[in-house]
Amino acid sequence: MKAVRFQSPGSPEQVLTLESIETPRPAHGEVLVRMLQSPINPSDLMFVRGKYTIAAECPATPGFEGVGIVESSGGGLKGRLFQGKRVAVLNKRGGNWAEYVTVPASQVIPVSSQLTTEQAATFFVNPATAWVMTQEVLRVPRQEWLVQTAAGSALGRMIIRLGRLQGFKTLNIVRRAEVAEELRGLGADHVEVFDERMDSQELVRRIHSVTGSAGVQYAIDAVGGVTGSAIVESLGINGRMLAYGTLSNEPLSFSPRTLMTVGSQVEGFWLGNFMSKRGLLFKLSLVRKLTQLISTGVLGSEVASSFAPEQIREAVKAAEDSSHTGKILLRIASA
Ligand SMILES: NC(=O)c1ccc[n+]([C@@H]2O[C@H](COP(=O)([O-])OP(=O)(O)OC[C@H]3O[C@@H](n4cnc5c(N)ncnc54)[C@H](OP(=O)(O)O)[C@@H]3O)[C@@H](O)[C@H]2O)c1
């Protein structure tokens, strides 16, 4: 089979190649999935660079998310039940950028025929993170402000639409002025343009002028660095910020006194950790909720373009380029 691979971590555009390797065989409890499409997410690119939470065992194939058809099972009840079904593949080890992949049957989710292949390829990671952070962890009340960074990302746009639906207000921080109008069109209540070279105290002042001088109660940050640190500074009494991404590759930096004075909290959020502590009923109800919210567009991902695996270097270049809106997909096979 054909698989995208890298021999050692490095710049995705330089190290990724398409190779012919042996098709894997599913072990007991695993399924063999014929992959259809897989998105190029920031976590995949970090994995290739050697900067993700999980280190690659090289040579390795990236791809944590995607959609495919279960071809066969290595044995076990779930695997047999899923045979022939179209499933979202949540591959914790990476490996979805290939014609076939083996994963534990517990890491595939049958996807409703209501959803297109593109929607199914981006079914879980971002939609579940948007829902869980705002509705299960922070439980942002109606009429309250939620401050978010990297608001122009696929996930940031889901949060804006979710805010409209659930009744919380979003204060959105983006680094490019061009994105602001688009986000207002999606229902953003307020947009601030800020990049890492600007004065962080000025950002804190601008945030307080919108949310009130008592400070922010709810925030989520995917950037870190100067931007994320400014959000920490803007938190009010008992305010909470979830740190869920490292897009700037820079650490958060603030005095402990910032937290001490107002009793604010900075918490890490990783969907994998959150889900590993949840039972089957919660997971089933989450899948139902996501299916409904994706089909109505609230948690849908816009797709910018799709590439064949042979074009992997162009595809990762496009994924890292700021001038487009929406996800870049790898089109591995047709249904
Ligand atoms: N913790 C979790 O469980 C979890 C789950 C899902 C996603 N995430 C994280 O969520 C974030 C968004 O994911 P996504 O798939 O929605 O991303 P995406 O659609 O690929 O968009 C990436 C966004 O990041 C922005 N960005 C990149 N570098 C930046 C920087 N240095 N400063 C400010 N903004 C920057 C880009 O802004 P431009 O438009 O200006 O280029 C773009 O809007 C990622 O960090 C991802 O790892 C975390």
Domain range annotation of the chain: 2-122+301-331, 126-272
Residue whose C-alpha is closest to residue 92's, from 102, 79, 82: 102
* The pair of three-digit structure tokens given for residue 249, joined into one six-digit string: 């590759």
Q: Which ligand 1 atom sits nearest the alpha carbon of residue 322?
A: 41
Instruction: Take atom 2 of ligand 1 and give the residue whose Cα is closest.
Output: 270
Burial of 117 (0-12, 13-18, 19+ CB in 10 A): middle
Residue whose C-alpha is closest to residue 68's, from 42, 25, 113, 38: 38
Tally of CB atoms within 10 A around 17: 13
Decide: 148 in ligand 1 pocket, CB within 6 A.
no
Pairing relation of β-strands 235-243 and 265-268?
A: parallel
Decide: 322 in ligand 1 pocket, CB within 6 A.
yes
Burial of 257 (0-12, 13-18, 19+ CB in 10 A): exposed
As a whole number of Å, the end-to-end CA separation of the chain is 17
Decide: 176 in ligand 1 pocket, CB within 6 A.
yes
Give the distance from CA 96 to its chain's centroid: 16
* The pair of three-digit structure tokens given for residue 152, joined into one six-digit string: 């122009």
As a whole number of angstroms, the distance between CA 5 and CA 208 comes to 47
pLDDT for the residue numbered 306: 96
Decide: 222 in ligand 1 pocket, CB within 6 A.
yes
As a whole number of angstroms, the distance between CA 221 and CA 226 comes to 11
pLDDT for the residue numbered 322: 79
Determine the residue of 90, 155, 178 to mutate for testing ligand 1's pocket, defined as the one with the most ligand atoms within 8 A of the Cβ atom: 155
As a whole number of angstroms, the distance between CA 3 and CA 22 comes to 9
As a whole number of angstroms, the distance between CA 19 and CA 2 comes to 6
As a whole number of angstroms, the distance between CA 66 and CA 118 comes to 9
pLDDT for the residue numbered 197: 85
- Residues in contact with 328: Cβ distance below 8 Å, sequence separation at least 6, in sequence order: 39, 40, 303, 304, 305, 306, 307, 315, 318, 319
Tell me, yes or no, if the two domains 2-122+301-331 and 126-272 fold the same way: no
The second-level CATH assignment, the architecture, of 126-272 is 3-Layer(aba) Sandwich (3.40)
Decide: 154 in ligand 1 pocket, CB within 6 A.
yes
Whole-angstrom CA distances from 37 to 52, 121, 122, 155, 273 are 22, 6, 9, 19, 25
Superfamily of domain 2-122+301-331: Medium-chain alcohol dehydrogenases, catalytic domain (3.90.180.10)
Q: Which ligand 1 atom sits nearest the alpha carbon of residue 39?
A: 15
Q: How far is the CA of 43 from the centre of ligand 1 (A)?
A: 9
Instruction: Take atom 45 of ligand 1 and give the residue whose Cα is closest.
Output: 245
Query: Which segments of 167-311 does DSSP mark as H helices, in order?
Result: 178-186, 200-211, 225-234, 256-262, 271-276, 280-295
Instruction: Take atom 38 of ligand 1 and give the residue whose Cα is closest.
Output: 322
Decide: 254 in ligand 1 pocket, CB within 6 A.
no
**Residues of the chain predicted below pLDDT 50:** none
Decide: 312 in ligand 1 pocket, CB within 6 A.
no
pLDDT for the residue numbered 198: 87
The answer to whether the CB of 103 falls within 8 A of the CB of 74 is: no
Residue whose C-alpha is closest to residue 241's, from 261, 224, 214, 264: 264
Burial of 185 (0-12, 13-18, 19+ CB in 10 A): exposed
